[in-house]
Amino acid sequence: MENNKHAIYGEGLTRIFQRGSEKLYALRGVDFQISPGEIVSIVGRSGCGKTTLLNMVGCLDTLSEGTLYIGNTEVSRLKEKDLIKVRRENIGFVFQLFYLIPTLTAYENALLPLLFARRLDKKEKVKEIFQKVGLGERLNMLPSELDGGDMQRIAIARALVNEPKIILADEPTGRLESKSKEKIFGLFKKLAEDGLAIIIATHDLGLASRADRMIRLKDGMVVN
């Protein structure tokens, strides 16, 4: 089987956690696809499987059952070393709590993925990305000197430096006030127009409803 159309294509995605003799299904046979340029939101109550699904498609966790393609690569049975390569080349992560290193400047924080990918020769690209996310003047500022919205922009810049095809955002506006929320979502829109596939896991139904498509999860399954 090949996946030429979707940025991510998953079929029967299942994740089982074993607690003693008991089996806990975090995901039960979820089918999931997203195309380049599309924004998909995932909603549901806490524990419904949003983060697990994000971990699966972000190659941070392994499937118990099912098939998953990131672009043309079948990742379900890849080893850790190969999964790291897939992550570096295809996926950018944005977290609710930003996880910026406080002693690094905005610019240095965004450089981290290039450092790990041994691609620091591409660091000029970071300045372009900062312009794109609206932080052109704040390259040398420390995270503590910026507000939540700006910190999330740095995190988005960090997610973009490896030129990924997919952005995975877990509650990206969860810690932001409404004005910043708007700006961040506007930025996601812009990135989608550039052809990136964007998945947003959120509790915020207002934000989720503005995505191109919304997937609702309950007890590890997709519900309409």
Partner 1 sequence: MNFITLAIKNLLRRKIRTTLTILSVAIAISILFSLVAFNRGYEKEMKKELQYLGYHILVVPKGCPYEAASLVLHGGKFPRYLKDEYVEEMRAVEGVKETARLFMDSETDSLLKETKIYFGIDEDYLRFKTRWKFKEGGFFTDDHSVVIGLYVSETKKLKLGDKTRAFGEDFTVSGILEQTGDQDDGFYFLPIKTSTRVSGKEGLLVAVAIKVEDLSRIEQIAEKLRAAETDMNVVSMKEVTGAIMGLVSSTRVLIYAVVLIAILISAVGVLNTILMSVFERTREIGMMKAVGSSRMDIFRLIWYETFIVCLTGGLVGSFLAVAGSSGIEKFIKKLMPYAPGGQLISADLLVIIVSVLFAVIMGILAGIYPAYRASNLMPIEAIRTE
How near is the Cβ of 88 to partner 1 at its closest, in Å?
4
Least Å distance between CB 147 and partner 1? 20
Q: Measured from the CB of residue 139, what is the shortest distance to partner 1 in angstroms? A: 13
And the tokens for 163? Answer: 């030129």
Q: Which is nearer to partner 1, 58 or 220 (CB)?
A: 58
Taking the complex as a whole, how short is the minimal distance between the CB of residue 66 and partner 1, in angstroms?
Answer: 17
Rounded distance, CA 136 to CA 115, Å?
A: 21
Tell which residue, 203, 151, 159, 210, has the closest CA to residue 186.
210
CB of 111 or CB of 146, closer to partner 1: 111
Please tell me whether residue 160 adopts helix, strand or coil conformation.
helix
Q: How far apart are CA 97 and CA 3, in angstroms?
A: 33
Strand-pair category, 213-218 with 65-70: unpaired
Smallest distance from partner 1 to CB 158, Å: 6
Burial class (CB within 10 angstroms; exposed 0-12, middle 13-18, buried 19+) of 22: exposed
Q: How far apart are CB 39 and partner 1 at their closest, in Å?
A: 19
Of 35 and 163, CB closest to partner 1: 163
Pick the closer one to partner 1 by CB: 119 or 210: 119
Residues found near partner 1 in the complex (CB under 8 A):
46-47, 50-51, 54-55, 58, 60-61, 80-81, 84, 87-88, 92-93, 95-97, 99, 101-104, 108, 111-113, 115-117, 120, 158-159, 162, 170-171, 174
DSSP characters for 93-114?
A: EEETT----TTS-HHHHHHHHH
Pick between residue 94 and residue 192 the one whose CB is nearest to partner 1: 94
94 neighbors 172 (Cβ within 8 angstroms): yes
Spatial separation of the C-alpha atoms in residues 102 and 90, rounded to whole Å: 26
Closest to partner 1 by CB, 117 or 221:
117
Q: How far is the CB of 199 from partner 1 (least distance, A)?
A: 12
Beta bridge partners of 63: none
Max Cα–Cα distance, the chain, nearest Å: 56
Closer to partner 1 by Cβ: residue 35 or 125: 125
- How do strand 166-170 and strand 91-95 relate by DSSP bridges? parallel
